[in-house]
Amino acid sequence: MTRIEDLHQSHGKGYELVVKVIGTLTGFKIFEDSSNTHWNFFKKTVTVVCYVTFAAWSLISVFDGDDADTILPALAIVSMGIQYLPKLYLLLFKPKVFAELIASIDEVWPSTSRLSPEYLEEFNNSLRQSSTFFTGVLLFSGMQSILIQSYGLYKTLWAKFLNPNVKYTFPFEFCYPRETDSLLVFVIIFAIQWSGCVMNGMGIWDGVGCLFGTIVSSVSRLFIVVQSDLKNIVKARGDDAPRSVEETEEDYNKLKAVVVYHQRVLKIADALNSMCTVLVFLDVTFTALAIGIYGFRTTTMKDSATKLINFFSGLYVLQITLIWSWTGQLLADASAEVAIAAHSCLWYTGDARFRRLIGIIMIRSQSPVYLTSLGFSRVTLQTFVKIMSTAYSYISLFSQVYE
């Protein structure tokens, strides 16, 4: 298994935070390290137990609930649990595929000297944007988890202080059991809910999402390298003299190397899409339902604090869709712009072989690389718009049913 220290610095740096979050909170290791394996096994066990317990409580609430305030929040958690399951499966049974995919990207990762100044700036800007975006996602995830848990704890303890006869109410009020007279039971179940929210939510839900997002954005940068190589493959000359046989042969050999590199990048992109296509399908399919539920509760709850919590919960669910849509758009744009770069090079100065290869690259790049949902639905920012439209339809449906 690859160590993160073995990666190129500019490449490995993008994974440092997300890998640390996943490993620290859940015990799952993407790369080799020297951490305590027994402690990691304990955290993995707690993560799985919390997920199973939380999912069981949510399902009980869906089937036993008798009002919208119980059924809808539980249904939102169930839909998120369905999206969560394949992420947990990959970490449990196929953690090496992450390291292998990242290692294959690192094998073709460029040195800064390879890129022209124009593309080097674009490359570095892409690195900074991705780092800022995924750091923000993880920070918001942590803040949202703390907000929900803190408010729920404050609410029940304050109510108990004002009236000792009031039962303890859990932060996730829809979960089974919903309330108890026992302080011990309250502490145990609160700990399970807190662990499930932080370890499973931030550690796996957002952690794996940000990990995949980082991988997709890294692949999109490889297409920037292809663009740079193509645009600068033929050096401009100050005169109109024909190119020598040696120069023509050199340009052709350079182009062959670019074609081989382009094919390697395309294979990596195909492997990435095959690995995450099921996750994309589940996230795209079920996210709109959860957003619709939290949006409906935001507009109908009378308590301002409850409105705020549901609003932030909706934003939290929205993050995973934004990750797929934004990085999918980056990948599609970068791969399509390879054709523009090929057309922009001095292709007309080359021989017939050179022009033929340029034509092949342009034809291939006219079909951009996409992230797909089970291979039939392309994921771009347009997907994000469609999900928001579907979520609004759910809000309207819930309003007609429950109001």
Q: What is the DSSP string of 123-172?
A: HHHHHHHHHHHHHHHHHHHHHHHHHHHHHHHHHHHHHHHH-TTSPEE-SS
Structure-model confidence comparison of residues 30 and 273, the more confident one: 273
Given a cut of 70, is residue 284 above it in pLDDT?
yes
Hey, is 378 helix, strand or coil? Answer: strand
Name which residue leads in pLDDT, 63 or 287.
287
Q: What is the pLDDT of residue 134?
A: 92
Over residues 256-280, mean pLDDT:
93
**Cα–Cα distance between 142 and 76 in angstroms, integer?**
19
CA distance 385 to 329: 13
Q: Rounded CA gap, 134 and 155, in Å?
A: 32
Most confident of 46-55, 73-82, 211-220, 343-352: 211-220
**Cα–Cα distances in Å, from 373 out to 90, 102, 156, 175, 400?**
17, 21, 42, 31, 31
pLDDT reported for residue 268: 95
Average pLDDT value for residue range 211-228 = 93
At 374 the pLDDT is 87
Q: How confident is the model at residue 160 (pLDDT cuts 50, 70, 90)?
A: confident
Of 174 and 16, the structure prediction assigns the larger pLDDT to 16
Q: What percent of the chain has pLDDT over 70?
A: 92
pLDDT in tens, 286-304: 999 999 999 998 888 887 7
Model confidence at 274, pLDDT cuts 50, 70, 90, reads very high
Tokens encoding 245: 């046989």
C-alpha–C-alpha distance, residues 27 and 200, integer Å: 11
Mean pLDDT of 215-241: 81
Geometric angle at alpha carbon 279, from 274 and 283, rounded to 5°: 140
Domain extent listing, the chain: 4-402
Predicted local distance difference test score (pLDDT) of residue 386: 93
Give me the pLDDT at residue 247, please.
78
For the ranges 158-167, 244-253, 262-271, the maximum mean pLDDT occurs at 262-271
Q: Residue 219 has which token pair?
A: 């692949």
pLDDT tier at 172, thresholds 50, 70, 90: low
The dihedral formed by the CA atoms of 132, 133, 138 and 141, expressed in degrees to the nearest 10? 130
Give me the mean pLDDT over the 263-272 stretch: 94
Is 102 a residue whose pLDDT tops 90? yes
pLDDT grade for 377, boundaries at 50, 70 and 90? confident
Q: How far apart are CA 131 and CA 337, in angstroms?
A: 23
- For the chain, what is the mean pLDDT? 84
- Model confidence at 92, pLDDT cuts 50, 70, 90, reads confident
More confident residue, 182 or 354: 354
DSSP structure class, residue 382: H
Is a pLDDT exceeding 70 seen at residue 319? yes
Residue 44 has pLDDT above 60, yes or no: yes
Q: Tell me the HSE value of 207 on the side-chain side, using a 13 A CA sphere.
A: 30
